Each structure stands twice: as structure tokens, then as C-alpha cells.
Amino acid sequence: RLLRAKSMTKAELAERMGVTPQYIGNVTKGEENLSLSTIKKLEVALGVKLIEVVSNGKSSAQQKKGAIE
């Protein structure tokens, strides 16, 4: 979803991150794990923070509010 929102292909993402397109494919299929340094590269390449990705763009306050209601 995030790649589509950024109008970016896996190959473009791989190039921005300095990894192979195959690595990106393996990560998306769950066959590879991301190291902390690779996560940082992902954040920079996509222009987002990991917390935004895993929280679906919601702040921690919004998450807590949703959990309580």
C-alpha cells in the first residue's frame, strides 16, 4: 500500500535503499527480516517513520483513544 501511495515500484525502493529488488521481494513475502539499519534506510527512502507504518498513520494518542472507546 505504501509503495502505491508513494507511486514507487519495488525496484525504485530497492535502488533508494541500496539493496536488491530481490531482497525487497523477499521482505514483502516474509522470507527476509529487516535489520535496524535497513529499517532506517526504509524510513529515509519512503519519507516516513516506522511507527507511522505499523500504526497505520495514527498517533499514539489516537491509538489509545481507539483502544479505549
C-alpha 64/C-alpha 62 separation (Å) is 5
What is the structure's pLDDT at 61?
54
What's the average model confidence in pLDDT over 27-37?
Answer: 90
On the question of pLDDT at 16 being above 90, the answer is yes
Mean pLDDT across the stretch 35-58? Answer: 82
State mean pLDDT over 27-47.
Answer: 91
Q: How sure is the predictor about 53, in pLDDT bands with cuts at 50, 70 and 90?
A: low
The pLDDT of residue 64 is above 90 = no
Residues whose CB is less than 8 angstroms from the CB of residue 28 and which lie 6 or more positions away in sequence, other chains included: 10
